[in-house]
Amino acid sequence: MPPSADVVLSAAGIARRFAYRPVLTDVALTLRRGEVLLLVGPNGAGKTTLLRVLSGLLHPSAGHVNRPGAIGMVAHEAMLYPALTARENLRFFARLHGVDGRARVDELLEQVGLASRADDRVGTFSRGMLQRVAIARALLHEPALLLFDEPLSGLDATASRTLVELLQTFRERGTAMIIVSHEMERLGRVATHMARLAAGRLGPVESLAGRNAAAVFADLMRGDL
Amino acid sequence: MRALVRAAWHIALKDIAIEWRTKTAFASGLVFAVLVLAVLFFSRDPTAVSSQDIAPGALWVTFTFAAMLGLNRAFLLEREMRALDGILLTPVPKAAIFWGKFGANLVFVGTIEAISLPLFVLFYDVPIWIQLGELVLVIAMATIAFVAVGTLLSAMAVRTRYAELMLPLLLLPFLVPPLVGGVQLTARLLEGRPLSDLGGWLRLIGAFDVAFVTLAALLFPVVLDE
């Protein structure tokens, strides 16, 4: 694929082994501004490992990842300190990002609907609230690409709906996203592309433009495409 | 360089703020220190061994194991919600994480030592006031060495399943040189010998300070890589 100013992530030939056990094999992926890739695949396919490699948390055993812009990540764990309040957590990470913290943190807490709980310790938060603080943490430095690992897992219906609405807002702003999830019904509305990772190999990236996301998902899960 | 110092400062402040709020490591470290000082004091036969004879050993056993509780916690708090990944996702150099943790650990261990020292005087009736400055210097030098290597090894141990068990196993062999130096220097200072007579031991601890801090700072980024 030709290089473009819109490209927020390009990866080629990515492989990752753990103690000689291959988890990812020859993964190639390019993502542009505004694109939202829903990554599906069976358990143990290497989806979380791929996100960690793309984020830079994990070095690939082979291949290269190019990240022209900043990346934010929301994983299974919130990556926060339970003994600190939501505001303190965000201010700490804002400082490490070199962001002028105070106003940005208040703005994000408002955006994720946690302004009223800003001074409560995150150790007392529900899973849904933790997820929202984690999203605020990932947004502090206004990343061009957001990575989500099972963002709806463990959330109730209301929290899921709030999160999906947030993701739609990010998409409308042009933030590229990779979302690992099987919640096709709710996240299919946010995604612009879908791909299947199985046994560490990434299948073709399917555009959802003008197509029924559920049908594409069903086909991908059958491995028919 | 300024960015590294600033990031290390924020990381250290965060660790100190968490410990100030929870006081988990501090409370357990302090209780442990009092317990060890008391047990060693009452375990001796006062007609055969004077309290001054076992004082240097008791002091350093107390400092070492109380400090280990704090060193263990330094990275356990990063593991709880994988907060360390959050730091690694920022543009902060990994070396800043080491210096931040090292600084916070020094504050933690230094506080435990500062509180334990008067208790040590109380139990063992040793004349530390005559050469207090010299004794503080010796304690500071030995502490720097074992906190540096402890910070590195706790980052390694926290990735294992039995982190609390692994740290002492990994750390204790490295503690032998600075601890022996600390005990020897403390014993001589308590005998009233001037620091100028103890250049050999001081140089030994100084060398371990330089070696351990340098090696720990260099190896730390490698340890953080998965």
Instruction: Tell me the pLDDT band of A80, cut-offs 50, 70 and 90.
Output: very high
Picking from A59, A82, A141, the nearest residue to B80 by CB comes out as A82
Q: B92 at the A interface (CB within 8 A)?
A: yes
**Contact residues for B191 (Cβ-Cβ < 8 A; gap 6+):** none
- B138-162 pLDDT, tens per residue? 999 999 999 999 999 999 888 787 7
Residues from chain B contacting residue A141 (CB–CB below 8 Å): 90
Q: What burial letters (b/e) apply to A25-61, b meaning 16+ CB within 10 Å? A: bebebbbbbbbbbbbbbeeebbbbbbbbbbbebbebb
Residues from chain A contacting residue B92 (CB–CB below 8 Å): 96
Q: Give the minimum alpha-carbon distance from B25 to chain A in angstroms, rounded to a whole number.
A: 13
Helix (H) or strand (E) holding A72: strand A71-74
Picking from B6, B18, B86, the nearest residue to A93 by CB comes out as B86
For residues B157-168, average pLDDT: 81
Rounded (to 5) percent helix, strand, coil in chain A: 35, 25, 35
For residues B29-57, average pLDDT: 87
What's the total number of domains in chain B? 1
Q: Which residue has the higher pLDDT, B114 or B48?
A: B114
Query: How many Å from the N-terminal Cα to the C-terminal Cα in chain A?
Result: 20
Helix (H) or strand (E) holding A27: strand A21-32
Picking from A71, A79, A141, the nearest residue to B83 by CB comes out as A79
Instruction: Tell me the pLDDT band of A4, cut-offs 50, 70 and 90.
Output: low
Q: For position B199, what pLDDT does the model report? A: 87
Across the interface, do B89 and A98 touch by the CB < 8 Å criterion? Answer: no
Residue B123's closest CA among B30, B40, B26? B40
For residues A188-211, average pLDDT: 89
Picking from A72, A88, A96, the nearest residue to B92 by CB comes out as A96
Hey, what are A61's tokens?
């055993």
Q: For position A3, what pLDDT does the model report? A: 53
Mean pLDDT estimate for chain A: 89
What residue of A is the nearest CA neighbor of B18?
A83
Distance of CA A52 to the CA centre of its chain: 10
Amino acid sitting at position B156? M
Q: Please state, in angstroms and as integers, the Cα–Cα distance from residue A172 to each residue in A33, A128, A132, A176, following that order.
A: 11, 23, 19, 10
- B174-219 pLDDT, tens per residue? 888 888 999 999 999 988 888 888 889 999 999 999 999 999 999 9
Residue B12 has pLDDT above 80, yes or no: yes
Kindly provide the ipTM of the predicted complex, given to two decimals: 0.90
Rounded distance between C-alpha atoms, residue B58 and residue B78, angstroms: 32
- B63-74 pLDDT, tens per residue? 988 888 888 888
Q: B87 at the A interface (CB within 8 A)?
A: yes
Residue A148 has pLDDT above 90, yes or no: yes
Residue B183's closest CA among B67, B57, B49? B57
Q: Give the structural domain span for B183.
A: 2-224
CB B62 within 8 A of CB B115: no
Q: B104 at the A interface (CB within 8 A)?
A: no
Inter-chain contacts counted by CB atoms under 8 A, chains A and B: 70
